Amino acid sequence: MGKQSVVDLKHFEISEEENLSPEDFILKKIRELLHQGALQPGARLPSERSLAETLNTTRGTIRKALQKLDFYGLVEITPQSGTKISNLGQDTVEELMKSIPVSKDQKMIDLLEARFVLDLQCTILAAQRRTEADLVLIENRQDLFLQRFYSKGNGDYLEADYLFHLAIAQAAGNHVLVSLLNQLTPRIVTREQPHLKQRDNDFSRIPAEHQSIIDAIRRESPEEAEEAMRNHRQWALKRIFTGDN
């Protein structure tokens, strides 16, 4: 890393505490320093040690916050040298930082909506790009789903349903979409169970809905796949939100 002057932060305002984890609290403070112009994109950050002193924390906390920023691509860490803010515009970096601490307690409906958006597009793409191997995996997953669906009384089929849709996502051939989908799934599956204790009449539709999706993908028809998937969602939402919130 080249020679660069490091800004002294001691003269800038630091906000007071809130109900955030120490790590997210530090993120917020760094964002404020950015907003006040104390830090500028492309500029080198003060060392972890001096940041800790300035922001009244330990180095460990600073370290966790910076690692998080690195994960989101907002900061470039060079070992044994230093850390600099990514070369994006100040507005951009600030906006991106705002969205980071929100990651917890996301609304269930938002999670479901996001998952459906991804599932739907993956299904359309799968109908365009599927290989024979993809089709075999999808059908195997459907078999597994049917088995769980008809044999057991508990919610195990929910995960089989996830595996079914995951196979479709993999057939779409976009690793990023698969990764985003996998990020959502645990948060949904571990919270969805309470809604689904009862299996009313609508549930019997699921196997046929799945089959329609498979057929569309086999025929390599994106339009039919989209319609089948939208139909699947319509009933899924009805199944999840019957009576309770």
Partner DNA sequence: CCATTGTAACTGGTTAACCAGTTTGAGGAT
Partner DNA sequence: ATCCTCAAACTGGTTAACCAGTTACAATGG
In the complex, least distance from residue 108 CB atom to a copy of itself, rounded to whole angstroms: 10
Letters for 62-91 (x = contact with DNA by CB under 7 A, - = none) are: -x-------------xxxxxxx--------
What are the angstrom distances between the C-alpha of 150 and each of 49, 137, 167?
A: 59, 20, 21
- Among residues 159, 192, 224, 226, the one that binds a copy of itself under rule CB under 8 A: 159
In the complex, least distance from residue 180 CB atom to a copy of itself, rounded to whole angstroms: 5
Q: Provide long-range contacts, Cβ within 8 A and 24+ apart, for 101-105.
A: 101/20, 101/24, 101/27, 101/28
30 binds a copy of itself (CB under 8 A): no
**Contacts (CB under 7 A) with DNA, residues 27-46:** 45-46
The span from the CA of 93 to the CA of 43, in Å, is 12
Q: From DNA, a copy of itself, none, which one binds at residue 136 (CB under 5 to 8 Å depending on kind)?
A: none
In the complex, least distance from residue 71 CB atom to DNA, rounded to whole angstroms: 12
The span from the CA of 55 to the CA of 70, in Å, is 19
103 binds a copy of itself (CB under 8 A): yes
Residue 90 belongs to what H/E stretch? helix 90-99
What are the angstrom distances between the C-alpha of 235 and each of 86, 144, 203, 231?
A: 44, 21, 9, 7
Between residues 81 and 204, which has the closer beta carbon with respect to DNA? 81
Letters for 3-32 (x = contact with DNA by CB under 7 A, - = none) are: xx-x---------------x----------
Q: Provide long-range contacts, Cβ within 8 A and 24+ apart, for 218-221.
A: 218/130, 218/135, 219/127, 220/127, 220/128, 220/130, 221/127
184 binds a copy of itself (CB under 8 A): yes
Q: Give Cβ neighbours of residue 97 (< 8 Å, ≥ 6 apart).
A: 27, 30, 31, 34, 69, 74
- Site size toward DNA (CB under 7 A) is 24
Backbone angles phi, psi at 56, to 5 degrees: 60, 50
Q: Using CB under 8 A, list all residues that contact a copy of itself.
A: 72-74, 86-89, 91-92, 95-96, 99-100, 102-103, 106-107, 110-111, 113-114, 117-118, 121, 144, 156, 159-160, 162-163, 166, 174-180, 182-187, 189-190
Q: Using CB under 7 A, list all residues that contact DNA.
A: 1-4, 6, 22, 45-50, 58-61, 63, 77-83
